[in-house]
Structure formats: C-alpha cells, structure tokens
Structure 1
C-alpha cells in the first residue's frame, strides 16, 4: 500500500489554519530535530510485526498510534560515546549532516527506544564486566547485545534516564557498554508542514528486536501498545480502527511492501534517509483539501 496523489484528507479546521498562515505570511516555526524507531520482530508462523504505541490524548499528537521516539536532547551531541558499528563520521555521510548532529540523531534513537520501550541497543565493551568502567580498545569486537533488560537494576537505570538524573552515555559507561549503532537502519526523514505551530524534523530508523529482549510499556506516555503486522495495521487504519498520522501510514506502507525481514533490511541499505518528505496543503480534483507528499 502506498500513498501518492490525491494525498491525505485534511480536516476543514486544519485547512483553514493553513490558508490563514499562508495569508498572514508569518515565518514558520523552527522544527525540532527528532528520531523515531520502528522495532521489528518475526511474527509467529511467518511474516513480521512492528511495535506501535498510542500516545496519551493530552500529549502532542495524542490519541494516535506511532513508533517509539522523541526529540533530540542537547546531551545527545555533546557527550563522548563508545561506539560499535558506524561512527558519527560514517553517519554524517549517510544522513548528510555534520558529525555532531549525526551523533545526536543516532544517540536519540537508541536512547528513546530504551526510554519508551525498554529495548537496549548496546553491547558490553571489550573486556568489560557488568557495571565496570573500563577503557575501550579501538578495533575490538563488543560482546553480544544483552538479553532481558527488564530487571530491577535495569529499570532503575531507565527511570533515572527518563527523569534526567543521568545521561545515556553515563548509563552505558557505568554498565561498561557501548552503543550499537549498527543495529539502527536509517529509513527516511519527515519534516512537519510549515503551517503547523509545532514542527519536527524526524529521522526514521528500523531496528530488529534483539534476541531475548522484550518491549515494555514503561514510558508513561502511552495508553496502549501492541505488536502488529504492518499490513494488518494499514488495513485497520483504513477501516478507522487505528488513528495514525501520514508519516506513520506511509512508513508502514513502505515497510509492508517487503515480504520478510531480510528484504526489509536489504531495502534500508538502498534508501535515501536524508532528503526530507515535506507535506504541503493542496487540492484534489474534486476541490477538497488534501495533504500532498510531492
């Protein structure tokens, strides 16, 4: 399933707001850089599933299903992190950013998926024991991604991270771990339309759920979470059973076009994750307002 012209229906109130914004000629709000992660896992029997959460109604974009994610924090770009996989310079080339903001986007993706879903995309640093603070040895291979990270100590670490009592780099360092940037697959980039008062410049990533880990509704920002096959999610959205915004629907359609996880991973390597999709208000052939993607 893909979404091209005539685009997405637009409520009259939103269309009127967009027209008023255009008529007034004011400057658009500066988008906040953000990252979101599609967690994927094999489905029972065949196929694969994606993890979605429904944001609390009181929140921005509340009441709709989305993927775990959030805004980039200043600490995401300023701290030193030990890496396994592509380093910030590699990510800078892939995302067409400078190394510092590229690190921030990747770090935010890994941090947010741990904060909101309890999934840790990290591995022990070479020679590190649990809870140690060793020195990294460039070129060494890290240990395996940990399995279950839902125990009391891990949950205390995660709660400290959410409450800003510690930073992601500090958490990993105290645990003797390094971020696994190779477990994040860049997929796309979306920028909120200019007429919206709150705007985001969001980088979308894919990640396969590490063996032994499980998602948990721990963020306090969702009132429902579930694993669902992408095609089923799209079908339910079309029936009106699941409310989703255009970036979620389009991304699900792109992922669902591939028959299995191997094909999805292969497709990610061929995608352009740097050129943004920038929706705009347009008009369908019948005169009704539509949100156009091209």
Structure 2
C-alpha cells in the first residue's frame, strides 16, 4: 500500500477533540468500487456525498453503506463463491460474510442503479428499468434484497465481486464503520446513474485523474478512498484489477494533529503508536 500523503488532512470538525471512551462500536458496512474499461484505461464510478450529511458530507466516495440485518437472510438466491469463502477472505463469521456480500450488491443497486444479479447463474440483468420501484423500496427499507430477488426471479451473482480491503474508522470519530471494500465490473448493457438522495453529483473517472483533482483541491477524499484510488491506478484494465489476489487485513488509521491539521496515520507510520487520545493542541501539563 502506498503511504498516505501528509497533506491528506481531515476537514475541520470531522472528529471531536476527545476520543470517546469507550470508542463507539464500528458498524459493519460494504463499499463497492464499480469499474469499467475505456479506450483511455480503467475508470471507476465516484459519488460526491451531499454536503451536511452526518458522515463524510461533501466528500467523494464509492457507493456503499451499512449492513442491514435482513442482508443475512439465508433464503437469498446465490451464485458464486459461498459465504464460507468470503468469511475466510474477510476474517469474519459466515453469517456476517453473507450479509456483507448482500449489502454490497444492495448498496450498489440503491446508489448507482447497477444490479449484480441475473435470471440464472450464468446471466446478468441488462435492463434494470423493470426494477425501478423495487429499487425505491429497498432504499426505504420496505423490501429486503432476498425478497426482491425472489419476487423478480433473480439470483445474486457473488461471482461478479472481488474482495479488496477492510478499513475501520479511527476510534477518534463518533460515527464508525468497519467497511469491507469490494471490486465489481459494470455489467454489459447497464449504466450507473446518480439517482440517489445521498449524492449531489456522480461521474466516471480514471483513478489517477481523481487523485489529481484531490491534489488540486477540487475534491475531498478520505484516506481509504485515496489509498484505493492509488491501488486502482496501477491496474490498466478491469481484467487486471479483477485478477488481483489480495491478502486482506483490517486497517484502522489513527488521527494526529500537526502543523497541517488533523492527519491520518496508518500502521507503520512513526506517529501511529504514539497517537494521543487528545487532539486539542493544548499544553500537556
């Protein structure tokens, strides 16, 4: 993993001056990097979250969100690596692994309109328009993913996803997530849209260009997004990215204050082990 640059600082007010004691438990979540090939190289789907949202307002992110208890429904029609395989990759129990994969597919559909499912184990939906109402019902929690797929006669295509990483929000923050990152290719015939209340804008972009926009101050990125874009930048095609066989370990950054502001540090950084619980620049005496 590339080292997070020192100039990647958190927005003012992003974390409280005191670390909550005890820390707020991290909610299980799934994040999906949706990618496609172009003549100019691999592109990834990005969303700018609505300013003022409780978590990461105004930041540029990938689709994703928290696990719903119904995502663990064992009646879910499923094709691809079984939950036990995902559990081994993300070092979690089988029930949570099932829920994480379901949440990844559900959140991708809710936030981008891309549906990683098909009428059979070797087909994928090419036209999602018949499922517009179901998408809204999923967003409003009026319908579970298992219920939707059963009514529509569809199978969740877990084989279209790849495990990528696992990021845990620093303990200094009051809204925390244990977010497992997945990679998925845009299915043929489908398109990603911006029809979600959580985003003020969406776009496809080459990872390197997104990093350039951050460097120029045109967008805000959280450390996991920055690091993931840097990793995707090294993949020239979707096939190359999907072939990645990654060893996944939990990454929990810590927050330190220096002359540049609130900075995130990762394990291996000299400042990591000595990161203080107090973030106010006050006299230690």
Instruction: Tell me the TM-score normalised to structure 1 length.
Output: 0.84
Report if aligned partners of 1:184, 1:207 keep a CA contact under 8 Å in 2.
yes
RMSD: 2.0
C-alpha distance 156-76 of structure 1, shift in aligned 2 (>3 A): same
Alignment-derived partner of residue 233 in structure 1: 210
Equivalence for 1:272 = 247
What CA deviation, in whole Å up to 9, does each residue of 1:11-64 have, x standing for no partner?
Answer: 67567x35x33xxx7210001110010000012x23011000111113121111
| Structure 2 match to 1:147 | 126
1:7: how far off?
7.1
Structure 1, gaps ≥5 residues long: 126-141
- Structure 2 unaligned residues grouped into runs of 5+: 268-285
Report the 3-state secondary structure (helix = DSSP H, G, I; strand = E; otherwise coil) of the residue aligned with 2:31: strand
- Bigger fraction of residues in helix: 1
**Match of 1:103, SS?**
helix
Shift in Å at residue 220 of structure 1? Answer: 1.4
How big is each residue's C-alpha offset from its partner over 1:143-177, in whole Å with a ceiling of 9 and x where there is no partner? 4101121x2x3101111211222111111111111
Residue 166 of structure 1 aligns to a residue whose secondary structure is coil
CA distance in 2, matches of 1:87, 1:174: 22
Displacement of 1:69: 0.5
Bigger shift: 108-117 or 153-162? 153-162
Residue equivalent to 1:135: none
Q: 1:8–1:292: 8 Å Cα contact kept in structure 2?
A: no
Q: Helix, strand or coil for the counterpart of 2:250?
A: coil
- Once residues 280 and 82 of structure 1 are traced to their aligned partners in structure 2, the CA distance between those partners, rounded to angstroms, is 39
Pairing of 1:38-117 with structure 2 (within 5 A): 38-43=33-38, 45-59=39-53, 60-117=55-112
Q: Tell me what 1:293 maps to.
A: 266
The answer as to whether partners of 1:190 and 1:201 remain within 8 angstroms in 2 is: yes
Contact 1:7 1:293 in 2 (8 A): no
